[in-house]
Structure 1
Amino acid sequence: MSDEPQPTHHEEHRRGSLPWGSLLRNGLLVVVLLIMLWLGFNVRLPSVGELQAEIEELGWVGVVAFLALYAAVAMTPIPVTIMAVTGGLLFGVIIGSVLSVAGVLVGCWGAYWLARGLGRRTVLKLLGEHARKVETNLQGAGFQAVCTLRLMPGFPYWPVNYGSGAFGIGQRTFLTASLVSTVPGQVSLVAVGAFIAHPGVLSGIIVACAWAVVLIMTAWAYRAWKGTSSRKLPGS
């Protein structure tokens, strides 16, 4: 007879039970991936003119519709540029900027909490080609890292949103960094829309100032973040 301890009834039941949590997460991953792929390759946002006409027809309800649509777009890989420009066309620089910033932040926040629910491993699969960059830059990072990725030219919003939720960035840090880093870019795009609707010197100045702020903030965030990273290195 073997001296090895025999597994208890509870252990045998646990070994034979299905990993429902893993199955649920993998199933949810498949659903999210399919939705995002379908949106990325098959959904085309209307042109700025078409979107403007459709929202104007809704009257005051158009404000709510604009916010909801902006938030939904911000949760997907679809670029939010057309939404911000349309905000400027419809509502002007001030109101358009407020609505655009609110819409993009709601969408980013929603993606952040979706990632918290999916978990780190699932989000890594979801991020695809962006996974390594996001994990390297956000793992154990904070305010400066979120700002840097958010301000990085050509880098989309959605990997930052999902990565922040998956890699433990605090909610307050994420929202604060997102607000600080998205305002200049959103204002500049809204100003472009306002300039198209009503060309003027003021709109041009706002665009130039907003992009100058984006460049300054990018340089600041990058230097601050690299300085924080170097202080964490052993022996530094």
Structure 2
Amino acid sequence: MRHVRGVKTRSLARRALPWLLLVAAVVAIQLSPAGDYLSLEALAKERLALLGLVERAGWAAPLLYLAAYVLVVSLAIPGVTILTLAGGMMFGWALGAALTVVAATIGAVLVFLAGRFLFGAGALERLGPAGQRIAAGLRRDAVSYLLVLRLVPLFPFVLVNLVPAWSGIRLRVFAPTTFLGIIPATTVYSLAGAGLGEALAAGGDADLSRIVTPEVLGALLGLAALALAAIPLRRWLAGR
């Protein structure tokens, strides 16, 4: 009996080791100065170098951007917003937004799957009554809640990817709401990146307050309010 338990323990340790190493790598990256390279100052300083890289790489440049963005999202490296601005600056707002939405969705799905594999679909409920209430609320109005969390970034992106996984939300719900929910904010920041590039080319400074206006942020809040309003409407229709 003791031998069987020892074999099971060693087997579990072998399966958990790669994930423990991954977690250690993520923590090491978070504590390292890697995020310093994804700052507004660094983006302004390296604008010409980035544009030159896009010109030299040709058709491979969008693929390199996709890979870099997925890596940053998957490893929770600080600076996702700066990378979104860079996409708009390098490729223009339309292509930059499209690439970013695809890459961010892929990265979010990878984090979602990793969180579910490591902790299980019911991990949030095991945290006690508060966790059970959050999980129940997410399951009851998953689409509306997830859209609100995507439309208005109230919480860190990685947390919004993990909590649904721990609440038992299905991937077929998580993936499309992520894709659709990040389109407005991504488009806004891609527009901001394109405008920032034009401002820098004209000799201006890296001041996002001139590009991301209160009107644009107000529009995002309005979209979030619409998604939130769908919750009582859905309940009323269910009662009818």
Same fold (TM over 0.5): yes
56-65 or 25-34, which moves further after superposition? Answer: 25-34
* Pair 71,83 (structure 1): closer, same or farther in 2 beyond 3 Å: same
Following the alignment from structure 2 to structure 1, what is the Cα–Cα distance between the partners of residues 92 and 134? 35
**Which residue number in structure 1 is paired with residue 67 of structure 2?**
68
**Which residue number in structure 1 is paired with residue 20 of structure 2?**
30
Is 1:158 equivalent to 2:158 in the alignment?
yes
**Which residue number in structure 2 is paired with residue 218 of structure 1?**
224
* Pair 121,86 (structure 1): closer, same or farther in 2 beyond 3 Å: same
Query: Per-residue deviation at 1:197?
Result: 1.8
**Which residue number in structure 2 is paired with residue 117 of structure 1?**
117
Pairs within 5 Å for 1:52-67: 52=47, 53-54=49-50, 56-57=52-53, 58-60=56-58, 61-67=60-66
Query: Per-residue deviation at 1:22?
Result: 4.4
Amino acid at match of 1:56: G
* Pair 121,94 (structure 1): closer, same or farther in 2 beyond 3 Å: closer
* Pair 192,26 (structure 1): closer, same or farther in 2 beyond 3 Å: same
Query: Gaps spanning 5+ residues in structure 2: where?
Result: 125-130, 203-209
Task: State the superposition RMSD in angstroms.
Answer: 3.7
Following the alignment from structure 2 to structure 1, what is the Cα–Cα distance between the partners of residues 108 and 85? 18
Pairs within 5 Å for 1:60-209: 60=58, 61-77=60-76, 78-120=78-120, 135=135, 138=138, 141-199=141-199
**Which residue number in structure 2 is paired with residue 4 of structure 1?**
none
**Which residue number in structure 2 is paired with residue 18 of structure 1?**
8
Over the matched positions of the two proteins, sequence identity in percent amounts to: 21
Q: Deviations over 1:61-99 (max 9, x none)?
A: 221111100111112332410111001111111111111
Following the alignment from structure 1 to structure 2, what is the Cα–Cα distance between the partners of residues 141 and 175? 15
In our comparison, the structure showing a higher alpha carbon Rg is 1
Contact conserved, 1:87 with 1:193, CA < 8 A, in 2?
Answer: yes
Following the alignment from structure 1 to structure 2, what is the Cα–Cα distance between the partners of residues 14 and 220? 56
Contact conserved, 2:121 with 2:168, CA < 8 A, in 1?
Answer: no
* Pair 151,17 (structure 1): closer, same or farther in 2 beyond 3 Å: same
162-171 or 106-115, which moves further after superposition? Answer: 162-171
* Count of residues in Structure 1 that have an aligned counterpart in Structure 2: 214
Following the alignment from structure 1 to structure 2, what is the Cα–Cα distance between the partners of residues 146 and 229? 17
* Pair 171,80 (structure 1): closer, same or farther in 2 beyond 3 Å: same
* Pair 115,153 (structure 1): closer, same or farther in 2 beyond 3 Å: closer
Following the alignment from structure 1 to structure 2, what is the Cα–Cα distance between the partners of residues 207 and 41? 33
1:168 aligned counterpart, secondary structure: coil
219-228 or 160-169, which moves further after superposition? Answer: 219-228
* Pair 14,139 (structure 1): closer, same or farther in 2 beyond 3 Å: farther
Following the alignment from structure 2 to structure 1, what is the Cα–Cα distance between the partners of residues 3 and 140? 37
Query: Gaps spanning 5+ residues in structure 1: where?
Result: 1-10, 125-130
TM-score normalised over the length of structure 2: 0.71
Contact conserved, 1:55 with 1:65, CA < 8 A, in 2?
Answer: no
Following the alignment from structure 1 to structure 2, what is the Cα–Cα distance between the partners of residues 108 and 223? 25
* Pair 27,16 (structure 1): closer, same or farther in 2 beyond 3 Å: closer
Amino acid at match of 1:217: L
* Pair 48,89 (structure 1): closer, same or farther in 2 beyond 3 Å: same
Amino acid at match of 2:230: A
168-177 or 81-90, which moves further after superposition? Answer: 168-177
Amino acid at match of 1:59: A
**Which residue number in structure 2 is paired with residue 7 of structure 1?**
none
